[in-house]
Amino acid sequence: MKVLLVNPPHSFSTANPLAGAGLSLPPLGLLSVAAYLRRELPGVKLKVLDWPGARLNPEAFAREVSAFGPDLAGVSVHTGTFSASVAAAAAIKKISPACFTAAGGHHASARPAQCLKYFDAAVIGEGEKTFSELARRLAAGAPPGGLPGLLTKPGDPPTRPEPLDIDSLPFPARDLLDLSVYRPAIFAYRRQPVTSMVTSRGCPYACGFCSKSVFGPTCRAQSPGRVLAEMKELAENYGIKEISFQDDTFTADRERVLRLCALIKENRLDLTWACMTRVDLVDPGLLSAMAGAGCFSIAFGIDGASDGSCGLMGKGFDTARARAAVSSARAAGIETRGYYMFGYPGETFASLRASFEKIKEIDTDHVFFAFAHPFFDTPLYREAKEKGLLDATDEELLDAHDNSVPLIKVPGASREDLVKFYKRAYLRYYLRPASLARRLASPRALADTFRAALYFVRWY
Ligand code: B12
Ligand code: SF4
């Protein structure tokens, strides 16, 4: 049996110039599905096509599919790149009409019935076990329906698979892709070769905009020993020097991170690393242990640029907490990246402009701005819809993946006002004397800034 796994195209070309430019990471979810399948069904012939990483175009994709001739194809479906996933599935069916197609990932979990218009099945939640069982059944000529987590008919009630023991999962099948083509965003990495890891699934917090259909409302984390083993494998087998942890809240379990830091030091791993977390999940002791174990950068999902906005979004912390976390990280020698969201229901143009002052006070080394994105499975979507604030149809939301495009109306501002505000926000932030001084202080920061400025000028 031949199984093809596809990550469809997406483009950051018009999106955030400073955080997005050059960003491309391996599709670890798809590679985890591949690794599990390879372990469970060793006889299967497996191919992974990561459209962005391999820089495929429709013709090259068609050539790859026709040369491989898949019996089963799984395609990741994210909301903002829905049409690209549908087009990939249609191309596969055109070339191999007998191929069984399955959608997986965030949109497949949030809107499985919609995916069934274009795919033979939708996989809900974690895909490893369900997809392997599907492949097993198809290989045996058995009907695919009835598996937990698999929907084959729109009328059937969606079911979820049991949560997996993520410590016992095989490492993602990185050998199936060329890892050298991937990079985190400018400012988010220092050394190369660099790659990404994810060591936990789910998040217990309840920010109103967060799309959580795959992993649900609890956090399961891999043990420090399992994380260390994967880091070692990356260093030894792939020559990796740096890791970008993509966990939603890497420091959700303080003791786990402290133990991991101790293990990294004990094992003398020559690896630097960056991670993402919340401002209320760090403290000076933890930050100092992280810095001592190679952590050089943390991205904080601050999101609300004012206390009012933090409240509207359900962040559960205020800007004073953000300021404290950033200054503790700086004291520990760790760079900070601040993620902020504009245009949440309840914000006005005046409050947005005022909140920009708070962003400057919080003073992260780098910033990443995005207009609030109403994913269908979120309280944000429901609230914006109920209040008549959506500035895009549901069809338009399916392909919205540009963070610089407002999707929610903001009282007191036209679309043009908002876009102008967004673009100027970057200039106003980075042209501050404090920010310029930090860039000038280090040749690396200066070089990164120069690269980012080139992207920015093209985009602006
Ligand atoms: C790293 C990351 C990226 C990287 C790498 C993307 C990638 N393909 O993995 C980059 C920066 C490139 C990226 C880009 C985008 N991302 Co992103 N990304 C993430 C992040 C932080 C981690 C992803 C990850 O590795 N998770 C761990 C793995 C194990 O989980 P997973 O990928 O979900 O895969 C599991 C299941 O979903 C499922 N599965 C996934 N694919 C498939 C396919 C098949 C066939 C099957 C059976 C199962 C299956 O099985 C996997 C294993 O259990 C998540 C947040 C999160 N916590 O997941 C956001 C997230 C997935 N991204 C998101 C978005 C919106 C995007 C973009 C559209 C952004 C943009 N503006 O362009 C693009 C789309 C890119 C694309 N088509 O891949 C949203 C998706 C929301 C939604 N409803 O669609 C998320 C959830 C963030 C959020 N909460 O808003 N992203
Ligand atoms: S935004 Fe971050 S902290 Fe909030 S619920 Fe989502 S993953 Fe958790």
Decide if 183 contacts 40 (C-beta within 8 A). Answer: no
107 lines ligand 1 (CB under 6 A): yes
* Radius of gyration, alpha carbons of the chain: 22
Ligand 1 pocket mutation pick from 85, 106, 194, 398 by most atoms within 8 angstroms of CB:
106
Q: Atom 85, ligand 1: which residue's CA is nearest?
A: 211
The ligand placed nearest to the CA atom of residue 73 is 1
Q: Mutate which of 46, 246, 378, 397 to test ligand 1's pocket (most atoms within 8 Å of Cβ)?
A: 246
- State in Å: Cα 259 to ligand 1 middle: 27
The closest ligand to the CA of 370 turns out to be 1
CA distance 104 to 99: 16
Q: Are 299 and 251 in contact (CB under 8 A)?
A: no
Encoded tokens for 197: 């890891």
Report whether residue 408 contacts ligand 1, using a CB cutoff of 6 Å. no
**pTM for this one?**
0.97
Residue with CA at minimum distance from ligand 1 atom 88: 211
The 10s digit of each residue's pLDDT in 89-143 is: 999 999 999 999 999 999 999 999 999 999 999 999 999 999 999 999 999 999 9
Write down the H helix ranges in 140-283: 224-238, 254-266
Atom of ligand 1 nearest to the CA of 5: 45
* Pocket residue to mutate for ligand 1, from 48, 76, 215, 227, most atoms within 8 A of Cβ: 76
Q: Is 105 in the pocket of ligand 1 (CB under 6 A)?
A: yes
For residue 142, the model assigns a pLDDT of 95
3-state secondary structure of 94: helix
Q: Enumerate the CATH 3.80.30.20 domain ranges in the chain, comma separated.
A: 183-459
∠ Cα 207 209 213 (to 5°): 90
Provide the pLDDT for residue 293. 98
Superfamily name and number for 183-459: tm_1862 like domain (3.80.30.20)
Q: For tokens 């198809």, what's the residue?
A: 138
Task: Kindly list the averaged pLDDT for each block of 10 residues, start to end, along the chain of length 460.
Answer: 94 47 89 98 97 91 97 96 94 98 97 97 98 97 93 91 96 98 92 97 97 94 98 98 98 98 97 98 98 98 95 97 98 97 96 92 95 97 98 94 93 96 93 90 83 79
To which H or E segment does residue 194 belong? strand 194-197
Does the CB atom of residue 278 touch ligand 2 within 6 A? yes
Question: What's residue 15's pLDDT?
Answer: 42
Whose alpha carbon is nearest atom 32 of ligand 1?
A: 29
Other C-beta atoms closer than 10 Å to the C-beta of 391 total: 17
377 lines ligand 2 (CB under 6 A): no
Cβ of 426 less than 6 Å from ligand 2: no
Choose the residue to mutate in 248, 313, 321 for probing ligand 2, maximizing ligand atoms within 8 Å of C-beta: 248
Residue in 214, 245, 247, 249 to alter for ligand 2 test, most ligand atoms within 8 A of Cβ:
249
How much distance in Å is there from the Cα of 249 to the middle of ligand 2?
7
How far apart are the CA of 432 and the centre of ligand 1, in A?
Answer: 34
Beta bridge partners, 193, equal none
Q: 10 Å Cβ neighbour count for 218?
A: 10
**Residue 24 contacts residue 183 (beta carbons within 8 Å):** yes
Measured in Å, residue 214 CA sits from the centre of ligand 1 at 10
Q: State in Å: Cα 410 to ligand 1 middle.
A: 28
Residue 19: predicted pLDDT? 44
Report DSSP state, residue 171: P
User: Does 247 contact ligand 2 (Cβ within 6 A)?
Assistant: no
Find the ligand nearest to 78 CA. 1
Q: Whose CA is nearest to atom 4 of ligand 2?
A: 207
* Residue 120 confidence (pLDDT): 98
Q: How far is the CA of 458 from the centre of ligand 1 (A)?
A: 27
- The pLDDT value recorded for residue 397 is 95
The architecture in CATH of the region 2-151 reads 3-Layer(aba) Sandwich (3.40)
| From-to residues of CATH 3.40.50.2300 in the chain | 2-151
Report the separation in Å between the CA atom of 278 and the middle of ligand 2, taken as the mean of its atom positions: 8
